[in-house]
Amino acid sequence: MSNLPLPHDHGQSMERELSHVPSVAEFQTVADIFKQLGDGSRIRIFWLLCHCEECVINLSAMVDMSSPAVSHHLRQLKAGGLIVSRREGKEVYYRAADTQRAQLLHHMIEALVAITCPSAPEER
């Protein structure tokens, strides 16, 4: 952002801070991640994959959803770089990506669950 003077001076010296504001594109990247996690079932699947590596059939049983529905969520998570897959014979296994982004989102989800769901068990 430019260092243009603001129309109203409220004594906060925001002009200096504006030079550190991320670009619109950077904020859009963050918004896209939040859109991806805007579904409770998808967050649940991602959380599970942060704790284990599983195939679609087992994930479907774990979250009580159809395999096509779970596959849909997995495609979106994979497209966003939050999960990875590997093939072993005919079976495909999914797990959380070993990235800073995935780890941060996992910790955020756990913290938000702890804050918003005080009756949820502390140990997961």
Q: What is the pLDDT along the chain (124 residues), one digit of tens a residue?
A: 556 676 777 777 766 677 778 888 988 888 888 888 889 999 999 999 999 999 999 999 999 999 999 999 999 999 989 999 999 999 999 999 999 999 999 999 999 888 888 775 655 4
What is the number of domains present in the chain? Answer: 1
- The count of C-alpha atoms lying within 13 angstroms of the C-alpha of 100, restricted to the half-sphere facing its C-beta, is 0
Distance, CA of 27 to chain centre: 15
Q: pLDDT value at position 15?
A: 63
- Residue 86 within any structural domain of the chain: yes
CA atoms of 36 and 46, how far apart (whole Å): 11
- Identify whether 80 is part of a domain: yes
Instruction: Look at residue 99 and tell me if it is in a domain.
Output: yes
CATH code at 89? 1.10.10.10
Domain-embedded: residue 105: yes
Largest CA distance in the chain: 66
- Residue 124 pLDDT: 47
| Nearest alpha carbon to residue 56 among 96, 36, 85, 97 | 85
Q: Could you give the CA distance from residue 70 to residue 57 in angstroms, rounded to a whole number?
A: 9
Give whole-number Cα distances, 72 to 16, 48, 55, 113, in Å. 45, 16, 13, 24
Query: Is 23 part of a structural domain of the chain?
Result: no
Q: Give me the pLDDT at residue 49, please.
A: 97
- Domain span at residue 77 reads 41-116
